[in-house]
Amino acid sequence: MTISATHQIHRLDGRRVAVHDLTPDAPAGAPVVLLCHAAPGSGVFDPDPEATAARGIRLISFDRPGYGGSDPVGDGAFATVDGAADDAAALLETILEPGATAAVAGWSAGGRVALALAARRPDLVSRVAVIGTPAPDEDVQWIPEEHRSGIEALRDAPAAVAHEALGAAFAPVLAALSGDARFGLVGIDEADGPVLAEHGVADRLRAMLDEALVQGGAGLMADIAGYTLRPWGFDPAEVKASVLLGYGSADHIGRAHGLWWQRALPDARLDVVDGAGHLVVVPRWKALLAFLCREAV
């Protein structure tokens, strides 16, 4: 399999975590921004490379367990939100100077990881951008009804049982999808048509999904189990960094979710983009970077 990771870091449990340096030509000492990917997803996705380059940052990302070039978690273990945050912290510790911090962004499922990192390691995080990230389902329902009962039946199941059951349930779905039909796996729908039509966007999403699914559905099943069946490992009230919440008014993960996070976080501002869908991360990336780099937006 072809993996585009720049390098890998090795965790204490022996896992390899694939790291993607999306701006290899960034100048020495450039501000670091860590982007946490969607589900399914991988660290190869830059929402807007022109905006990234213009900002002069070092944009990095990594693959969560089972995606791209990252090893799955071990047998009997869940790939949890806080576990992914700890992987992110380990990555930042390898690239930041002592005492330095990074800005962190998370799109969709990645927003939970970004917030968990900020809560668990405030010494590493300056600011956070959360884009299209669901609130807990028990507070703002978003899990489709056809999946809800199956997930609840696995609530107390061991990790191996949960992964096997989810794999069996989703295997026909993954097998039936090819090409751009896979965009729906990320929550992209007709509301995102104008953004998808922009130069390069669809190509970057195709590359992201190609890498996300290189190990089959392993990453997706691990992600779903980790964020639906296990605690997220952080309290939003523990996030001390300033947070910008970006949501699309036409997204099924929209304003109601942003309002929940705004109430739960100590220092958060909500930005709802009229008419935008789940790909709101693309048109708002320039503004999100301005916030992360401490400019007024």
Name every residue whose Cβ is closer than 8 Å to that of residue 236 and which is 6 or more positions away in sequence.
115, 119, 261, 264, 265
Entry pTM: 0.96
pLDDT given for residue 3 in this prediction: 37
CA-only gyration radius of the chain, Å: 18
Nearest Cα residue to 276 out of 246, 235, 296: 246
Most distant CA pair in the chain, distance? 51
pLDDT given for residue 1 in this prediction: 30
Please list the residues that pair with 269 across neighbouring strands.
244
pLDDT given for residue 146 in this prediction: 85
Nearest Cα residue to 285 out of 212, 204, 206: 204
pLDDT along the chain (297 residues), means of 10: 66 95 93 98 97 96 97 92 98 96 98 98 98 97 90 94 94 93 97 97 97 96 97 98 98 98 98 98 98 77
Q: Do the Cβ atoms of 133 and 109 come closer than 8 Å?
A: yes
The string of pLDDT tens digits covering residues 46-56 is 999 999 999 99
Q: Do the Cβ atoms of 120 and 233 come closer than 8 Å?
A: yes
Multiple choice CATH, 7-292, 3.40.50.300, 3.40.1190.20, 3.40.50.1820, 3.40.640.10: 3.40.50.1820
pLDDT given for residue 74 in this prediction: 83
pLDDT given for residue 147 in this prediction: 85
pLDDT given for residue 75 in this prediction: 79
d(CA 273, CA 285): 12
What's the distance, CA 71 to chain centroid?
17
d(CA 267, CA 172): 42
Q: What is the DSSP string of 152-174?
A: HHTTT--HHHHHHHHHHHHHHHH
* Domain ranges, ordered by start, for the chain: 7-292
Please list the residues that pair with 104 across neighbouring strands.
34, 128
pLDDT given for residue 89 in this prediction: 98
pLDDT given for residue 295 in this prediction: 65
Give the position of tokens 């010494």.
123
